[in-house]
Amino acid sequence: MIAVLLALAIGYSGFEAAHLSSENNVSAFAERLRDNIANQEEYKLDDLELARQAGPAALPLLQRTLRVRDSRGYTRCYDRLLRWLRYPPLAKLANLLPPPERAAEQKRAGAARMLESLGVDAAPALKAQLRALEDESPLVRWHAGLALLQLGGHEAEVMAAQRRRMENRLQADPAASVYVLARIGPPARTELPLYLPGLAASTNLQDLFGRLCLPWILAQVPLTPPAQSFGELLRRTPRFARDTETWRLIDAAVEPLKAEVLSPIGLDNNTNADVAKVMEIDDGAALGIAFMGSLCSNLAPTLKGQLASPDSDKRFFAGFAWWHVTGDGAGSAQAMGSTNIPDDSIAQLAFLLTMHDLGASAAPAAQNVAGFLTNSNVLHRRLAARSLGQMGEAGRLAVPKLERCLGDECLGLRLDASEALWNLTHDARLLQIMSAAAVPPALLKRAQSVPPIQPDFFPSVFEVLTRMVCQPR
């Protein structure tokens, strides 16, 4: 029996080796993606930054990962063999066997998500992304669609794929599909009649959030600047008579979602008496309130009181929600900048994304933001550099640290730091510092092309939260 299992395992390992040899060589840097590729948490942007650093070198690995499937038969064989091969001298044989594929769906979805983060650099993987639109996993299809939209020029294929899903009752997921259409915006308006009945018939939370995504499609042109909460999105999107019924559907979702967001802090409706009962807005409540924005304007007095709290964490969470509810960006930056930023990496990311979203209004928090230029997390360093470059005079305190960032091993940070320094100082020496010695010639050539290369895209807090609630379950 052992001999049979061993023969099967060796045969599979030979097939795997031949398969791998047919792929392009995967760089050592891209190999570091392997341990992170299956991560599906939308707030885990660190993994996407790792893919950006690998750049085109990551494509062979990501394309191969889009094809992986769980090797169930080999997995059973492998697991049984390991029980026998744990004893010497057979233990050495175990090291020769390739491990089986496990959690393949998560890996494929993670690969599509990383391809989205690469933007135009993912163009050589176009065929793999188009094939992924027909994957058996809804999560893989969803991420593949978003990756193609980020690549640009494939809106028709993505809309057709969403249409096929909705026409199949077993695969229909109105909220997830509407979010994808919302990324396309007004050109997707003609698709709405297929999705509205499903959204109207459902009262689950995901589909209610899907209704709130509809204004992105109803607008005649994309909002500029983009909305930073559902409250702002609903307020700024023009309402046309032809969309009256659709707006009724959207408005009907507001109160149930507010109740869900506010219930953890003891609020079930919008009465002032209930607001008076709120003792504290914690991290979870702050996320929900920021998400809804001005739709939770009745909480402004509670948030204002918490901004003056002697507790640093309470001020931080209130400050995070404050500008989404009131529009007072400087007030949020002042509150969050006066706190000891929590050690938790998610809270730190929320702080930096908020400062990036606030632009020049983040100036009161410049000192705290500058502290992240020496952080061990490269994504945090990049967000800090970009944020400081938007702050004007307040950002100049970080010029020495930004200059040291010009020697960072991450090319993206070197470019972000140089742009920030130029915005803050207009020092012509930067043209010499950021020469071919610091930037690879191929990148310089691309930077001179038409149209110009767009900088790496970082999502807003609102976009991260929206993706979290709308992705397929």
Name which of 380, 351, 237, 245 is nearest 290 in CA terms: 351
Q: What is the mean pLDDT of the chain?
A: 84
* Range picked from 15-29, 51-65, 382-396 for highest mean pLDDT: 382-396
- Each residue of 222-236: pLDDT tens digit? 999 999 999 999 999
Q: Looking at the predicted structure, is the pLDDT value of residue 242 above 60?
A: yes
**Count of beta carbons in the 10 Å neighbourhood of residue 17:** 10
Burial label for 75, CB within 10 Å (0-12, 13-18, 19+), is: middle
In this structure, what DSSP letter does residue 96 have?
T
State residue 12's pLDDT score. 43
Residues 3 and 90 in one domain: yes
Task: Assess if residue 159 is contained within a domain.
Answer: no
Residue-range definition of the domain harbouring residue 22 = 1-121
Predicted TM-score (pTM) of this structure = 0.83
Looking at residue 152, what is its pLDDT?
A: 87
Is the pLDDT at 145 greater than 90, yes or no?
yes
Percent of the chain with pLDDT over 70: 81
Q: Give dist(CA 405, CA 416) in Å, integer.
A: 9
Q: 352 and 333 in one domain?
A: no
> Does residue 351 sit in the same domain as residue 472?
yes
Rg from Cα positions in the chain: 25
Compute φ and ψ for 89, nearest 5 degrees.
Answer: -90, 5
Least confident window among 94-98, 339-343, 355-359, 400-404? 94-98
Task: Note whether 360 and 330 are same-domain residues.
Answer: no
CB 391 within 8 A of CB 366: yes
95 or 107, higher pLDDT: 107
Number of domains in the chain: 3
The string of pLDDT tens digits covering residues 203-227 is 999 999 999 999 999 999 999 999 9
Phi and psi, residue 384, nearest 5°: -65, -45
Cβ atoms of 128 and 59 closer than 8 Å: no
Length of the chain: 473
233 within some domain: no
- Residue 114 and residue 55 in one domain: yes
183 lies in some domain: no
* Rounded Cα gap, residues 370 and 367, in angstroms: 5
Task: Name 401's Cβ contacts closer than 8 Å, sequence gap at least 6.
Answer: 370, 373, 374
